Structure 1
Amino acid sequence: MDTVEEKLEAMRADLAERDGVLVAFSGGVDSGVVAAVAREALGEDAVACTAKSETLPDEELDDARRVADEIGIQHDIVEFSELDSPDFVANGDDRCYHCRTMRLGQMFNHAKELDIGTVCDGTNASDPGEGHRPGLQAVEELDAHSPLLEHDITKEEVREIADRYDLSVADKPSMACLSSRIPTGLEVTEEKLTRVEKAERVLREWGFSQFRVRDHDGLARIEVAEDELEVALDPNFVETVRDHLTDLGFEHVTLDLHGYQTGSVSPGNEAEADDEPLVENVFDTDYSALRSE
């Protein structure tokens, strides 16, 4: 079995043979590593490109700019809207396929403008085994190059490589697009995306590292990492997030005691209709009254 160093060298040599590459760049650890290796292999012939849309939180775009600056790679931003696609808005089982098709399509269009023949993405060797991933079909159909997958570099190895390049996102948790917070079958709207983004900003400000606010058509279901559940039960946090999310238009605010789960509203991961989710509506409690006793 090849070592991480051998895999990295093979990936570097692979990219160096190309006339130029455009990296579909989210600013996360996977695309960050691809961009860093591409910059090392090709110099100014490597470009990072981020597609800005309603599903990309402002904080993630800021991260992408910062990480591109760390790498020293040219960073371009293109804009589009997934909401222009009725198939995406319908939020069926294949929503991620339509999203990735449009997003990568923007990458290929920009690469053509720059006369670059190769578009790379950050799919790694661990991704194909992680459940429902229709977006990978789009990567294959559009013939994007996935150097991490091609050279059998796993997620754990990606983080190790990111450490070698001293990338600030080496330990950054995964952050899927905002539409992943809306359960399959419920229409994706700009209003829902905006209120989810603003709701998650509160959790970010409170220092949570892994979290989601799922929008169940007016009910906010908060997921945080299991080791952070105690903080989520803090009366001060409860009052703050309850009031803020209510102001955003959520009718009910709940905390999922299962903790954060990847893709918990995706096909194949949702609870059966007859199962009662383990959710505590702690946000209905008047904690100010309890503290005055």
Structure 2
Amino acid sequence: MNDDVAAKAATARERLAERDGALVAFSGGVDSSVVAALARDALGDDAVACTAKSETLPAEELADARRIADDIGIEHAIVEFSELDDPDFVANGDDRCYHCRTMRLSRMYDAARERGIGTVCDGTNASDPGEGHRPGLQAVEELDVVSPLLQAGITKEEVRQIADHYGLDVADKPSMACLSSRIPTGLEVTEERLTRIERAERLLRTWGFSQFRVRDHDGLARIEVGADELETALNPDFVAAARNHMLDLGFDHVTLDLQGYETGSVSPAGEADAGDETTVNRDGEPVVEDVFARDYPTS
């Protein structure tokens, strides 16, 4: 971390120290993890990391959030709610992220008030406002959420440097948006779709892919993987395994996008996945017997 980045981090930490306490909207991604680490340094036990648990959060991400909060040494709280209770969210219009973020942050304020804390922070950084269609940022502004990274002018690359300085293993973690970002705008967000997307992506994670999405086009699964993993995805064994498993999970058709992973590829105006700010575990789902189980096991 160079002197300029260190100075920005110090500024963010000093501003946090001026507050009586802070509750950090915490996904376990690199942005919110850095805010949590800065808040812990600045406020000690008066800092709390809070994760929102709902149908749109992959179970693995919740487990990661718990682990990372423990590594930071900050209290970790969980609030539960369902975005599916909001018809505007379910409709999946251009402003889906606005409705989601409004509900999520409102629950964060409830949790903060229960602890006598008046400040809620998030992980918005200085690179976010210019990255595509980001209606979720409107909710941040309307609810008066504090964004320490943005206020200190800390960019995404600088966030990763600070995370590395703190020894956080999320420094190079790929962005992971909520599961609803895999459903094309205008197609309703349902529990059925979220369930099969989570299960499909769990398979890709188990099979060793690191940057991926499974987009749900009303029953057609469109698999996206990073450019450096595309050759692996073209392997006939993977193709057969992916087809068999994903058909069994409820998809009608399975395709591989040869363009590879692209942030926000089913959202309006190239909407950036709400990457840092990412259901309960659904174990026991039926998965077909796989003739390629040695290379692509399901567990």
State the TM-score, normalized to the length of structure 2: 0.89
1:186-221 C-alpha deviation (Å, 9 max, x unpaired): 000000000000000111011111100000000000
The residue type paired with residue 191 of structure 2 is E
The corresponding residue for 1:100 is 101
Is 1:50 matched with 2:51? yes
Aligned pair count reads 272
State the identity as a percent.
Answer: 77
Aligned-partner SS, 1:239: helix
The corresponding residue for 1:66 is 67
Aligned partners of 2:17, 2:269: CA distance in 1, in Å?
40
The corresponding residue for 2:173 is 172
1:239-267 C-alpha deviation (Å, 9 max, x unpaired): 11111100011111000011100000110
The corresponding residue for 1:38 is 39
Aligned partners of 1:241, 1:68: CA distance in 2, in Å?
34
Shift of 1:269: 3.0
Aligned-partner SS, 1:172: coil
Aligned partners of 1:248, 1:211: CA distance in 2, in Å?
18
Is 1:154 matched with 2:155? yes
Aligned-partner SS, 2:251: coil
Aligned partners of 2:208, 2:129: CA distance in 1, in Å?
31
The residue type paired with residue 182 of structure 2 is R
The corresponding residue for 2:204 is 203
Aligned partners of 2:41, 2:240: CA distance in 1, in Å?
48
1:54-92 C-alpha deviation (Å, 9 max, x unpaired): 000000000000100100000000100000000000000
Aligned-partner SS, 1:245: helix
Within-5 A mapping of 1:126-137: 126-137=127-138
Aligned partners of 1:44, 1:239: CA distance in 2, in Å?
51
Aligned partners of 1:143, 1:61: CA distance in 2, in Å?
25
Query: Runs (4+) of structure 1 moved beyond 3 Å?
Result: none
Aligned-partner SS, 1:124: coil
Aligned-partner SS, 1:268: helix
The residue type paired with residue 35 of structure 1 is A
Shift of 1:234: 1.2
Higher relative contact order (CA 8 A, sep 6+): 2
Aligned partners of 2:81, 2:216: CA distance in 1, in Å?
23
Aligned partners of 1:212, 1:38: CA distance in 2, in Å?
32
The corresponding residue for 1:21 is 22
Aligned partners of 2:241, 2:73: CA distance in 1, in Å?
39
Aligned partners of 2:38, 2:161: CA distance in 1, in Å?
13
The corresponding residue for 1:275 is none
The corresponding residue for 1:252 is 253
Aligned partners of 1:254, 1:14: CA distance in 2, in Å?
49
The corresponding residue for 1:224 is 225
Q: Which runs of 5+ in 2 are unaligned?
A: 272-290, 293-299
The corresponding residue for 1:265 is 266
1:105-136 C-alpha deviation (Å, 9 max, x unpaired): 11001001111010000000000111000000
Aligned-partner SS, 2:8: helix
The corresponding residue for 1:284 is none
The corresponding residue for 2:83 is 82
Aligned-partner SS, 1:171: coil
1:158-206 C-alpha deviation (Å, 9 max, x unpaired): 0000000000111000000000000000000000000000000111011
Aligned-partner SS, 2:270: coil
Is 1:241 matched with 2:239? no
The residue type paired with residue 65 of structure 1 is R
Shift of 1:224: 0.5
Aligned-partner SS, 1:220: strand
Aligned-partner SS, 1:237: helix
Aligned partners of 1:166, 1:269: CA distance in 2, in Å?
33
Aligned partners of 1:124, 1:236: CA distance in 2, in Å?
41
Aligned partners of 2:136, 2:120: CA distance in 1, in Å?
16
Aligned partners of 1:105, 1:121: CA distance in 2, in Å?
13
The corresponding residue for 2:184 is 183
1:14-38 C-alpha deviation (Å, 9 max, x unpaired): 0011100000000000000000010
Larger radius of gyration: 1
